[in-house]
Amino acid sequence: MIRILFLFTASLLLLACSDDDNDPQSEEQTDFKIKKLSKTFYLEDGTSYRLDYLYDLSGKITKWIQDYADVNALFHDDYLYNELGQILESKTTNIIENYVVRTISYEYDTSNRISSVIYTSSDGFSNTLHLTYENNTVFVNDNFGEHKSLIFNQEGKLIETFSRSSEPLNGTVTETINYNGDLVTSIHYNYSIGTGYTEDYTYEYDNKRNPLFVNFKNNVNNYIYNFAGSMKSFK
């Protein structure tokens, strides 16, 4: 398995100051608005790549830069929002070769919920995800027969997902998410693909305030379907 050494750096705009860095609840503690978040990944084979995320003053991501210096590749993801702050489009551009790699467009229903996600790529591939809502469950179906259901609790937190795939990987995946307050404590995966197996992840937290908390909190209910197959919240 490739081991990745993760170097995390963040460029932040300081809005207020505090003398007490150890009190996570202090009203006088430092508050930050994130402007840029950079991640550099060093791979075991000696190569590396960097991801840069740029944000506006409201905390919405405006650009995602993927820089693969070792293979001379540079990609930009640009994001377009409507007047309600909902994402309308993300566009990935190959800067070096100057062409649009893919475009993802989002449409909304009259209740301002995502109703469809349209994916198109430069190689001619396209797919549309159709989202329907029933009580606390969101059903997602695409043009290729893939099905996914997402179950939320009364507080709007995602607590379970169920995916059913077709060829070449027939089977189901169930994801169960557990919380302590607003914090995810564990995630359990149950796979029926092949001989079947399970995965478990647990999370621990300290009592220090995350300088990115304000930005993530503003987006906690912005669940956006991505093509890795899961609904994401940016908390």
**pLDDT tens by residue, 33-52:** 778 888 888 888 887 888 88
Q: Is the dihedral of CA 111, 77, 189, 41 positive or negative?
A: negative
Identify which has the larger pLDDT, 159 or 235. Answer: 159
**Taking 60 as the threshold, does the pLDDT of residue 213 lie above it?**
no
**Taking 70 as the threshold, does the pLDDT of residue 218 lie above it?**
no
3-state secondary structure of 49: strand
3-state secondary structure of 82: coil
Other CB atoms within 10 A of residue 176 CB? 15
Alpha helices in the chain, H assignment, sequence order: 213-217
The pLDDT, as a whole number, for residue 170 is: 76
By CB atoms closer than 10 A (0-12, 13-18, 19+), residue 42 is middle
The pLDDT, as a whole number, for residue 133 is: 92
**Taking 60 as the threshold, does the pLDDT of residue 4 lie above it?**
no
**Taking 50 as the threshold, does the pLDDT of residue 8 lie above it?**
no
Structure tokens at 20: 């007490």
Match 């989202």 to its residue by tokens: 131
Identify which has the larger pLDDT, 123 or 214. Answer: 123
Where residue 61 falls among pLDDT bands split at 50, 70, 90? confident
**Contacts of residue 137, Cβ cutoff 8 Å, sequence gap at least 6:** 149, 150, 151, 152
The pLDDT, as a whole number, for residue 186 is: 92
| Domains parsed from the chain with CATH numbers | 1-130 (2.40.128)
pLDDT above 90: percentage of residues in the chain: 20
Q: Note the pLDDT tens digit of each residue in 72-122.
A: 678 888 888 889 888 899 899 988 888 999 999 999 999 988 899 999 999
Length of the chain: 235
Rg (alpha carbons) of the chain, rounded to whole number: 20
In this structure, of 31-40, 48-57, 141-150, 172-181, the range with the lowest mean pLDDT score is: 31-40
Where residue 139 falls among pLDDT bands split at 50, 70, 90? very high
CB of 138 within 8 A of CB of 231?
yes
Other CB atoms within 10 A of residue 40 CB? 15
